[in-house]
Amino acid sequence: MLVLSLFPGIGLLDRAFEAEGICIVRGPDALWGGDIRAFCPPAGRFDGIIAGSPCQDFSSARRCEPTGNGLEMLTQFQRVVIEAQPDWWLLENVPGVPDVRIPGYNWQRLDLRAAEFGLVQRRLRHIQFGSRYGNVLVIDRHQLVVETEPTVMASDTTTPWDKFCSLQGLPGNFDIPAFTVGAKREAVGNGVPLPMGRALAQAVRAQLPASSVNLCACSCGRPVVGNQIYAGGACRMRALRRRQSES
């Protein structure tokens, strides 16, 4: 499987997909002086596209007015998908990111918590997935870690580096020698936790036709059976809170 990675940063999501045997081609990134607006991918070369577009404009931790860059980069992501015409695409971002729907692809939105993949931080990420063939992702989640710590933040300057990395599923001695201490924390803090990324890569490899599986209505991606709508009580409450927030 050959996959194009957009907005790769230091490649934490790429690292997870590569660990599952998927070949990653990294697109341009502002971190390395690249500009996606000047990037035109070849059509029909990539099986899939993964991306973690800039999230600052959509983050609840934002302390200033949105710059507009977040929406512009989502538009660029859509453009690249349309030009590249992959079989599927996957976009990772914060809960406040708008829905991204691309003509010719179905659409699925999932909310994933780091604590559902064996980590002890309260990190919530939203995944949007589209398939040309109407496929969906079924996420293999573990039992929720109950006792968790605050979410790793790019602005965190106090958590010891080895712990900062381990909360993201990285080895404690992970290093980016060319980066300053602040730049390292920003790069790692903005990334997808490694176990979560690997679960996504596994789900991409095993994606199923939407008609072959019933999924929980709360967007957790868990399969349900019979007349079930939700996979459990927590899912029912999550869906209720979402409806209340949208009303």
Domain locations along the chain: 2-143+193-212
pLDDT of residue 17: 97
The token duo for 126 is 């939203």
pLDDT of residue 38: 96
pLDDT of residue 246: 66
Angle subtended by helix axes 194-205 and 12-19, to nearest 10: 50
Q: Cα–chain-centroid distance for residue 126?
A: 6
pLDDT of residue 107: 94
* Average confidence (pLDDT) per 10 residues, the chain, 247 residues: 95 95 96 94 97 82 77 96 98 91 95 90 91 93 76 86 93 92 91 93 95 84 85 81 71
- Separation between Cα atoms, residue 113 and residue 67, nearest integer Å: 27
Strand partners, 6: 51
Question: Does the domain made of 2-143+193-212 have the CATH classification 3.40.50.150?
Answer: yes
pLDDT of residue 141: 80
pLDDT of residue 198: 95
- Separation between Cα atoms, residue 91 and residue 53, nearest integer Å: 7
pTM of the model: 0.89
Core vs surface per residue 12-23: b (16+ CB within 10 A) or e: bbbbbbbebebe
Core vs surface per residue 193-212: b (16+ CB within 10 A) or e: bbbbbbbbbbbbeebbeeee
